[in-house]
Amino acid sequence: MKNKEVVMVFVDYENIRRGLADNFQERVGADKVIEAISNLAQELGDFRGGIVFGDWTLRPDDARIIEERGLQAYNVLLTRGGKDRSDPPMMLEMYDVMHERPEINTFLVCSGDSGFKEIIRRGKERGKLMYICAVGLTIAREFITMSSGVFALEERLGLSPKIAPMILGTPFELATRDWKPFIRRLDSLEKNLPFVAYNYLKNSILEPSMGCSDTEDDKKQFLEDAVSVNIIELYELPNPKLAGRMTLACRLRRDEPTVKNILSQK
The pLDDT of residue 100: 96
Q: Is 109 a member of any domain?
A: yes
The reply to whether 184 falls in a domain is yes
What's the rounded Cα separation, in Å, for the pair 222 and 173? Answer: 12
Residue 31 shares a structural domain with residue 119: yes
Looking at the structure, tell me whether residues 145 and 193 fall in a common domain: no
**Which of the residue ranges 81-85, 111-115, 128-132, 255-259 would you say has the lowest mean pLDDT?**
81-85
Contact predicate 6/104, CB 8 Å:
yes
Domain's final residue, options 173, 202, 220: 173
Bigger pLDDT: 89 or 241? 89
Domain boundary among 173, 198, 228: 173
Residues 161 and 247 placed together within one structural domain of the fold: no
Residue 127: the pLDDT is 95
100 in the same domain as 23: yes
Q: Are residues 32 and 65 in the same domain?
A: yes
At 145, the amino acid letter reads T
Task: Give the whole-angstrom CA distance, residue 85 versus residue 74.
Answer: 12
Same domain as 40, residue 107: yes
Regarding whether 142 and 45 lie in a shared domain, the answer is yes
Are residues 247 and 205 part of one domain?
Answer: yes
| Model confidence band, residue 229 (pLDDT cutoffs 50, 70, 90) | confident
**What pLDDT, on a 0 to 100 scale, did the predictor assign at position 2?**
47
Report yes or no on 1 lying in a domain: no
In the listed set 173, 208, 231, which residue is the last one of a domain according to the structure? 173
* Residues 249 and 140 placed together within one structural domain of the fold: no
- The pLDDT score that the predictor gives to residue 171 is 65
Question: Do 111 and 154 fall within a single domain?
Answer: yes
* Percent of the chain residues topping a pLDDT of 90: 65
Orientation angle between helical segments 13-23 and 30-44, nearest 10 degrees: 110
Are 156 and 54 contained in the same domain?
yes
Instruction: State the chain's mean pLDDT as an integer.
Output: 90
Tell me the per-residue pLDDT of 110-128, one tens digit each, with 9 for 90 and over. Answer: 999 999 999 999 999 999 9
CA distance 124 to 100: 16
Domain of residue 220 covers 180-264
168 plus 193 within the same structural domain: no
Q: 87 pLDDT exceeds 80?
A: yes
Which pLDDT value is given to residue 164?
A: 60
Number of domains present in the structure of the chain: 2
pLDDT digits (tens, 9 = 90+) for 158-208: 998 876 666 656 666 666 678 899 999 999 999 999 999 999 999 999 998
CA 246 to CA 26: how far, in whole Å?
52
Confidence band of 66 (pLDDT split at 50, 70, 90): very high
**Considering all CA atoms of the chain, what is the largest pairwise distance in Å, rounded to the nearest integer?**
75
112 domain residue, yes or no: yes
The domain that holds 120 is classified in CATH as 3.40.50.1010
The answer for residues whose C-beta is within 8 angstroms of residue 242's C-beta and 6 or more apart is: none
The CATH number of residue 209's host domain is 1.10.10
What pLDDT does residue 176 have? Answer: 67
Domain assignment of residue 88, yes or no: yes
Q: Which range has the worst mean pLDDT, 24-28, 150-154, 242-246?
A: 242-246
* Contact present, 154 and 36 (Cβ < 8 Å): no
**Under 8 Å CB-to-CB from 203, ≥6 apart: which residues?**
219
Q: What pLDDT was estimated at residue 233? A: 92
In this prediction, residue 38 carries a pLDDT of: 97
CA distances from 234 to 81, 158, 216 (A): 46, 37, 18
